[in-house]
Structure 1
Amino acid sequence: MKFWKMNGAGNDFVVLNNLEEHLPVELLPQIAKTLCERHLSIGADGLMVVDAPTQGGDYKMRFYNSDGSMGEMCGNGARCICRYGYETGLAGETQTVETTAGIVTGKRISSRLYRIRLNDPTTVKLDASVEVDGVRYPCAYVELGNPGIPHAVIPYAGLRQADENELRELGRAIRWHKDFPKGANVNFYELTGEDSLYERTFERGVEDFTYACGTGTGSVVTVLTLQGKVSGHGVKVDMAGGQLMVDAERNGSRIDSLYRTGPHRQPVSHRSHQHRLQGRGHRRGAGTPRAVKSLYVRPQGHTECVCKP
């Protein structure tokens, strides 16, 4: 089995090409949980699986969170998958990627820099304040794409100096808040200058803070642009994993399109020869099990690993 390990603004992903591997779709959630485990496996924020397109795109991207749940889309993942698509010959410098949340387009700027058009905001509520432990927090709610990727956007003064445990507990409480039936990715932000801000995201499916969240940056800039707090052009968003540039095209009371530009780091190509996927009740030739309780990758023979800048 061959995979790539990729990193975009600190978000890391495992990429599998199912056009070559032919893995049963019903096994992919457990494969995601197995490969994304950081102590006993490769470790990643999520698994991206390339599959055959069905809507005229260059290819389809299935995205799975590290807990095995399926995500609608991942912004940083989309930038990484576009580099994968270009370098493996699946697509050219401009490409169209099918996702569960809709079509995403990407453009190669340089060997490490890609520009992505995110799914458009389909739901925007600028006043969606939430109450946690008797305290009401100002909050906006944004969904990108259809079905929408849910984001809660919350201003937080002194975000860089915030107590990590307190912020994590608040993020967890809002992520599961009753006002958000689908759950929510929780985006805390603090304006740091003209058209610049610092942002942290407690991600649904990872259930913790990640180094970056691509759709989160788009959601925050959507809210701030509509509120008139940023221009929407070349907005610099700093996160633990680095900086992304976001452009939001405003049309009255809505955002018509969102673009994000950012780099990637150290894609790793790995091949395990004569591999075998095993799970309880899954024997070679027995077909796909109805339920796989455990799954692991057992490489047999030699392996090769290639790092690229």
Structure 2
Amino acid sequence: MSTTYSFTKMQGCGNDYVYIDCRAGFPAGLPAQIPFLANRHFGVGGDGVICICAAEGDADARMRMFNADGSEGRMCGNGVRCVAQWLYEHGLEQDTLCIETLAGVKVLHRAAPGLWRVDMGPASFDPASLPAAGFACPAVDVPLTAAGKTWTATLVSMGNPHCVVQVEDLKGMDLPGIGRAFETHPAFAESVNTEFIRFVSPTELEMRVWERGSGETLACGTGASAAAAAFVRRGLCPADTEITVHLLGGDLSIRVTGETVWMTGPAVTVFEGTITVQ
């Protein structure tokens, strides 16, 4: 039996997903079809699929985010901005929107046309919050052996698990090999997203990311938030200051305060269409 989906392709700093309106009900067969929908050769193509669902509480909508392999993630920073933009473009013209995620309710503010500021919530450096085993708390500048090397890592939860590693050379590293070694490391019971960071200045970081379930992506909003929070915690970047994180797909602005992490970035509609999945 075939299923036809109406979709919107959207991207935030090149982190692209297939967005499906599921407010009338979540299709039971959709999770199994996500690898096809996300396939860049045979499907629509994207880093995954994001479903815009009816809110279960008092929020404006609920986001369900699936990686390209079909696994469900707890949170996507670029994705939640695009959900807000989608809602705005489809009649909910509010400058403040509340969106439910598996990592809690996120409050978004429209900073300018196509630009959203997100309260990402506080960063946690407790390894149990990832979860991760075998690390002291807080897990800041801890040794971690992967891909035949011992790295200095900072473990951060932004509602989803992150491992932040400072490196000198981003361009020359074997990201697929190293990223997979972190993703499948036995210390991380639910796998992990890994951010490799080159320190540029106290207000500027450069980043490549390996996302669990998707591989290297052009951007990761929760990853940029985790990276900035880690560098503030390590004393290399100041708190309460805009930190620009350069990603392969564009820039995100991150501000780390004593209470929360703020992320500001674009949300862009690329095209709309329908696709039939056999």
* TM-score of the alignment, normalized to the shorter chain, above 0.5: yes
Contact kept, 8 Å, 1:139 with 1:153, in 2: the verdict is yes
> Which amino acid in 1 is paired with 2:46?
A
Provide the residue aligned with 2:167 in structure 1: 156
Q: Which moved more, 1:8-17 or 1:109-118?
A: 109-118
CA distance in 2, matches of 1:91, 1:228: 40
Give the residue type in structure 1 aligned to 2:156. V
SS of 2:213's equivalent in the other structure is coil
Q: Aligned equivalents of 1:4 and 1:109: distance in 2?
A: 22
Q: Alpha carbons of 1:91 and 1:65: their partners in 2 closer, same or farther (altered >3 Å)?
A: farther
- Aligned-partner Cα distance in 1 for 2:152–2:222: 20
1:127 matches 2:141: yes
Q: Distance in 1 between matches of 2:256 and 2:201?
A: 18
> For 1:261, which of 259, 264, 270 is the aligned residue?
264
Equivalent runs, 1:107-146 vs 2, <5 Å: 107-124=109-126, 125-145=139-159
2:9 matched to 1:5?
Answer: yes
Deviation at 1:91, TM superposition (A): 5.8
Distance 2:157 2:181 in 1: 19
Report deviation, 1:271.
4.4
Q: Distance in 2 between matches of 1:204 and 1:119?
A: 21
Of 264, 270, 273, which residue of structure 2 is paired with 1:270?
273
Q: Is the 8 A contact 2:39 2:46 kept in 1?
A: yes
| Deviation (angstroms), 1:50 | 1.1
CA distance in 1, matches of 2:107, 2:250: 22
Following superposition, the deviation at residue 135 of structure 1 comes to: 2.3
Would you say the 8 A contact 1:144–1:215 is kept in 2?
yes
In the TM superposition, residue 119 of structure 1 has moved relative to its aligned partner by 3.4
Counterpart of 1:56 in structure 2 is: 58
Q: Could you tell me which amino acid in structure 2 is paired with residue 7 of structure 1? A: Q
Taking a change above 3 Å as real, the CA distance of residues 123 and 133 of structure 1, as seen in their structure-2 partners, is closer
1:48-88 per-position Cα deviation (integer Å, ceiling 9, x unaligned): 11111112111111111111000001000011111011111
CA contact (8 A) 1:14 1:48 kept: yes
Q: 2:20 maps to what in 1?
A: 16
Q: How much has 1:3 moved relative to structure 2?
A: 1.2
Q: Output the TM-score relative to the length of structure 2.
A: 0.89
The residue matched to 1:138 in structure 2 has which SS?
A: strand
| Secondary structure in structure 2 of the residue aligned to 1:31 | helix
Superposition map of 1:124-273 within 5 A: 124=126, 125-145=139-159, 149-159=160-170, 161-163=171-173, 166-206=174-214, 208-232=215-239, 233-250=241-258, 256-271=259-274
Larger radius of gyration: 1
Unaligned runs of 5+ in 2: 127-138
Indicate the SS of the match to 1:62. strand
Structure 1 pair 74–54 and aligned structure 2 pair: CA distance change class (3 A): same
For residue 46 of structure 1, what is the aligned residue in structure 2? 48
- Is residue 59–residue 90 contact of structure 1 (8 Å, CA) maintained in 2? no
Q: TM-score, normalised by structure 1?
A: 0.80
Name stretches of at least 5 consecutive residues in structure 1 with no aligned partner: 251-255, 277-295, 298-309
- Kept in 1, the 8 Å contact 2:85–2:268? The answer is no
Partner letter of residue 230 of structure 1?
A: C
* Larger RCO (CA under 8 A, 6+ residues apart): 2
What's the CA shift for 1:213? 0.5
| 1:185-211 deviation per Cα after TM superposition (whole angstroms, max 9, x unaligned) | 0100011123101001000010x2110
